[in-house]
Structure 1
Amino acid sequence: MFTLRSLLDRTSLELRVLVPGRPGALDAPVAWVHNTELPDPSHYVREGEIVLTNGLWLERVPAAQFVTNVKKAKAGGIVFGLRAEMPDTPAALVEACREEELPLLEISVAVPLTAVSQAMADMLADERKQSLVGMVRRGDALATAISRGAGASGVLDILRREHDLPLAVVDRMARSLAVAGARLDGDQLHAVATALAKKPPALEVDLAELGPAALFPVGAVGDIDAALICLRPLRELTTPERQALEQTARFLSLEVAKQQAVQAIEMRFASELLEMVLSGGWRATEVPGRLRAFGVDPSGPLAVCAVAFSDGETATMHGLAEVIVEFFAVEGVPAVVAGGTQDVVAVLPWRHPEHELPLLGRRLARSIERRFPGLRPVVGLGGLAAHAAELRPQLLQSREACRVLRRTRTGPSVRAFAELGTHRLLLGLLDAETLNEFAGQILGPMKDHDARRSGELELTLRTFLEHDGQWAATAGALHIHVNTLRNRLAKIAELTGRDVGRTEDRVDLFLALTVEAMDRPQPG
């Protein structure tokens, strides 16, 4: 950084301070130097430049006017060059600079003004050289740290060797990946995640009592996944500090990409494990080995939980899986977590009483709520599997419980499959293909009739069963006459082959509608 003081330190220039200007003016950044003899150079001088002059304008304007014009351009000061015809700096110029608090330096007759320009050029070249050398050395150190597995914390340590700045790395899930000289609470972490979610990301984020902090995005695989946070406003950072922070953010992108690659591999292996469990047969023999790879004992009791959002939100499934992985890590529970299109499944060892499992589910739901404000997470639990060979029914049951909860906006957010009702217990034991075929055979003709004639037979049937077969209550709910209801139910009997007046036929219709509402997607 160039300053008037850095010029004064060059004794070869033989500079002398006549007016120091306002406090700190000699240490203020200097943009460049501008040699001029114009009476009014304000149209040409840039902000922060130093005006070099021999005073030839004194024949045209008074010194006070010249100083006013220079001050109007927001110049950093004046260097007055003495010459044989003017061996002393005019007193009027000194007085005018003192009144305007504009720095005034004097250069001896023996030194030409071009020497100041040359000195500035030399300092610029040296600064650029030092900046490039520093960048190369810093880059080597950062690359070495990442290649040796130092992680984000090791990267920050290298940066702080050069610049004593309070730093943190926060990802888009509001997780603190590393800190160095900084401490962020939960609200501040969420403020960073919110700033990262903006398009484009913010350059500064307000961290409440910590004040504004500079944000340097860390991208990986074409997206912004984290940020390097410096607990200083952008305006207070020097150019070298900003350059170092920007370079470090780029290297952190490598670290984040590496972590994402590892997570993607783990998630793929976890998804393959679920496919093995669901497939059964010879592939089931590989399940114990996969569980051991994730630190899960396949010979002990195993629990399965399926997690989703009640409003059907699926865009955040990848982030949901990350939060669940972190939750079990904090809980100290080894778990296999696999993300699908409709839910996220976790398989974990469970050596506690089965009735304590919902407590873990509720803690998990609260943890997810904090990360995804405004969304309602639901957790479906299967029964306990004595060992890996019994995982398949528990996996199906947990997913079924989760699907039921996902369709509700109120009520409990955590339920076990056994709590869903006897008919759901029975349905959960059958595969999706069999159930869909059963429902299609019964409801298909009625649904086709509704589609062709914009009818309301399906709605009528659902309402009738919801009102326990009470004719008057059903007609009132549908706002139709009882005779109209009678005609519709007769048509339903004709199309489905089931008479709502017979108990066994009504059960068939009820189960078919239940299967239809289950919305069973394919695994994964």
Structure 2
Amino acid sequence: MFTLRSLAERSSLSLTVLVEGRPGAMDEPVAWVHNTELPDPSPYVREGELVLTNGLWLGHVSSAQFVRSVKGAGGSGIVFGLRAELSATPRGLVDACREEDVPLLEISIEVPFTAVSQAVADMLADERKQALVGMVRRGDALATAISRGAGAGGVLNVLRRDYDLPLAVVDRMARSLGTAGADLDADQLHAVATGLARHPPALEVELGEAGRAALFPVGAVGDIDAALICLRPLRRLTSAEREGLEQAARFLSLEVAKQQAVQAIEMRFASELLEMVLSGGSRAGEVPGRLRAFGVDPGGPLAVCSVAFAQHETATLHGLAEAIGEFFAAEGVPVVAAGGTQDVVAVLPWRHPEDGLPPMAQRLVREVERRFPGLRPVAGLGGIASHAAELRPALLQSREACRVLARTRTGPRVRAFSRLGTHRLLLGLLDAQTSRRFSAGLLDPLKDHDARRGGDLELTLRTFLDHDGQWAATAAALHVHVNTLRNRLAKVTELTGRDVGRTEDRVDLFLALTIDAID
């Protein structure tokens, strides 16, 4: 790195430091040198350039004006060249530089400015040469680390040999793929994933107590799938450090692509297992072998859990199966997580009482919700299969329970098939459009009446059915007189054509309210 101090230390230039300027100014990078005798060089001096001058402007402007002009342009300092007519640097220039904290160096009359320009060119060329040599050397080391299977952590270790920086690699699912000198918690990992999800991806992310961190995207198969994180803001990174980080990010794309290929193969095998279980027949004989490949004992009890997102019409979100797999890995439970079109099915060994499944599923749902903020995950549980040959009924039950829960805006997040009400199972078999039409035909008149009159007919009907048709209990819950309740329910009968005093009409109204709650 070319600095004023490194220039002053070159004995061949015979430079004398008269003013060091502000603290650290002598050690800041210098962009280039600029020879000028203009009274106001500011339009032509670039940020970080060192101004060379013989002071021919002295008869036109004061030293203070010239120094302010150089400082205003962002010049890194001034080199004053002595000449026969001026054997010492003017006192006014020294005072002005000291006043403005601008570095001032003096060069003897025997040394031409071309010698300074040549020295600077040599220094910059050598610096660039060293940077290129370092990049080639580091590239070889990175390629070796990748080829030997060192993973993301190996890439970071190579980078840390050159730069003492806290580093981590995080993918778009908020998973840590490797760290070196950095330890990110769950919230910080999520902040990185959020930054990656932006279009275009963020260049910096705020990580709470760790401050701002620089983000270098890692692309694989055309997308941004991960990021190399440096726990330093971009402004505090040197150009060499940024080049090194960008180089490492390019090599990390190879590692991420390799991991994605492995995951894709595993997901394909898991999906094939799901098809084998559902299809039965000759392929059912392959199920035990596939289960063993995932570390699941096919001869012992097996549980099935299906996960989906409520009120989410599109296909299963990318990464859900991976998130479920990581949850069970953290729990120490081998699992096969296979993605369907609208859900992900997890098959796992279960040698505990069946009532232990719902709490485990609740923890799973909370973890999925943390990974996919803004969505409402639900989980359906099937019965326990005593061995692999009995998986099909448990799988179908778990998916059906999940499908019923996924149609609800509120209510339980986890349910076993055996705990679902019969009416919900029957509604789950109906076409959604048909059931909505049935519900709207009965309830829309009540909703319209309540909207126009500010009434409570729908609330009254719900409360009446919730209290099993008991007049006194319903009136007390609504804080109204029984006669008022009778008048309201009479209006319900008039608007819907259903008499709440008849069992079959109550069933229609109850189903209409249930469908309304689901949709």
AA in 2 matched with 1:211? G
Q: Give the CA deviation at 1:315.
A: 5.8
After superposition, where does 1:417-436 map in structure 2 within 5 Å? 417-422=417-422
2:497 to 485, 488, 499: 485
Show structure 2 runs of 5+ residues with no match.
Answer: 446-457, 470-484
Q: 1:243 maps to what in 2?
A: 243
Greater shift after overlay, 358-367 or 393-402?
358-367
Q: Give the CA deviation at 1:93.
A: 1.9
Q: 1:111 maps to what in 2?
A: 111
After superposition, where does 1:126-137 map in structure 2 within 5 Å? 126-137=126-137
Distance 1:301 1:459, change over 3 A: farther
Q: 1:146 maps to what in 2?
A: 146
Q: Give the CA deviation at 1:385.
A: 0.9
CA–CA distance in 2 between the matches of 1:316 and 1:8?
65
Q: Give the CA deviation at 1:114.
A: 0.9
Distance 1:313 1:158, change over 3 A: farther
Q: Give the CA deviation at 1:61.
A: 2.7
Q: 2:87 maps to what in 1?
A: 87
Q: Give the CA deviation at 1:355.
A: 1.8
Q: Give the CA deviation at 1:459.
A: 8.4
After superposition, where does 1:469-484 map in structure 2 within 5 Å? 482=494
CA–CA distance in 2 between the matches of 1:477 and 1:344?
44
Q: Does the 8 Å CA contact 1:5/1:26 hold for their aligned counterparts?
A: yes
Q: Does the 8 Å CA contact 1:467/1:474 hold for their aligned counterparts?
A: no
CA–CA distance in 2 between the matches of 1:235 and 1:155?
23
AA in 1 matched with 2:64? A
Q: Does the 8 Å CA contact 2:215/2:229 hold for their aligned counterparts?
A: yes
How many matched pairs? 488
Distance 1:102 1:475, change over 3 A: same
Do structure 1's residue 66 and structure 2's residue 66 form an aligned pair? Answer: yes
Do structure 1's residue 209 and structure 2's residue 209 form an aligned pair? Answer: yes
Paired residue secondary structure (1:318): coil
Q: 2:3 maps to what in 1?
A: 3
Q: Does the 8 Å CA contact 1:317/1:341 hold for their aligned counterparts?
A: no
Q: Does the 8 Å CA contact 2:316/2:344 hold for their aligned counterparts?
A: no
Q: 1:332 maps to what in 2?
A: 332
What's the TM-score, normalizing by structure 2?
0.84
AA in 2 matched with 1:371? R
Greater shift after overlay, 247-256 or 77-86?
77-86
Greater shift after overlay, 315-324 or 187-196?
315-324
Q: 2:267 maps to what in 1?
A: 267
Q: Give the CA deviation at 1:316.
A: 5.7
After superposition, where does 1:408-419 map in structure 2 within 5 Å? 408-419=408-419
CA–CA distance in 1 between the matches of 2:497 and 2:201?
58
Q: 1:310 maps to what in 2?
A: 310
Once superposed, what is the RMSD of the aligned Cα atoms? 3.6
AA in 2 matched with 1:164? D
Q: Does the 8 Å CA contact 1:37/1:53 hold for their aligned counterparts?
A: yes
CA–CA distance in 1 between the matches of 2:109 and 2:403?
89
AA in 1 matched with 2:349? P
AA in 2 matched with 1:43? P
Q: Does the 8 Å CA contact 2:310/2:406 hold for their aligned counterparts?
A: yes
Q: Deviations over 1:93-120 (max 9, x none)?
A: 2222222221111112221101111111
Q: Give the CA deviation at 1:422.
A: 4.8
After superposition, where does 1:440-519 map in structure 2 within 5 Å? 456=441, 482=494, 485=497
CA–CA distance in 1 between the matches of 2:111 and 2:489?
101
Paired residue secondary structure (1:333): coil
After superposition, where does 1:179-328 map in structure 2 within 5 Å? 179-312=179-312, 314=314, 317-328=317-328
Q: Does the 8 Å CA contact 1:475/1:481 hold for their aligned counterparts?
A: no
Q: Does the 8 Å CA contact 1:318/1:339 hold for their aligned counterparts?
A: no
Q: Does the 8 Å CA contact 1:306/1:399 hold for their aligned counterparts?
A: yes
Distance 1:296 1:484, change over 3 A: closer
AA in 2 matched with 1:375? L
Q: Give the CA deviation at 1:398.
A: 0.3
Q: Deviations over 1:141-194 (max 9, x none)?
A: 111111111111111100000000011112222222211111222222222222
Q: Give the CA deviation at 1:311.
A: 2.4
Q: Deviations over 1:317-338 (max 9, x none)?
A: 2222121010011011111001
What's the TM-score, normalizing by structure 1?
0.83
Greater shift after overlay, 416-425 or 137-146?
416-425
Paired residue secondary structure (1:312): coil
Paired residue secondary structure (1:59): coil
Distance 1:209 1:502, change over 3 A: closer
CA–CA distance in 1 between the matches of 2:113 and 2:304?
81
Q: Give the CA deviation at 1:406.
A: 1.1
Q: Give the CA deviation at 1:68.
A: 2.5
Q: Deviations over 1:209-260 (max 9, x none)?
A: 1111111112222222221111111111111001111111111111111111
Q: Deviations over 1:379-416 (max 9, x none)?
A: 11111111111111111000001111112233321111
CA–CA distance in 1 between the matches of 2:360 and 2:261?
29
Percentage of identical aligned residues: 73
CA–CA distance in 1 between the matches of 2:262 and 2:188?
27
CA–CA distance in 2 between the matches of 1:478 and 1:270?
57
Q: Give the CA deviation at 1:22.
A: 1.6
Q: Give the CA deviation at 1:477.
A: 7.8
AA in 2 matched with 1:329? A
Q: Give the CA deviation at 1:35.
A: 0.4
Q: Give the CA deviation at 1:32.
A: 1.0
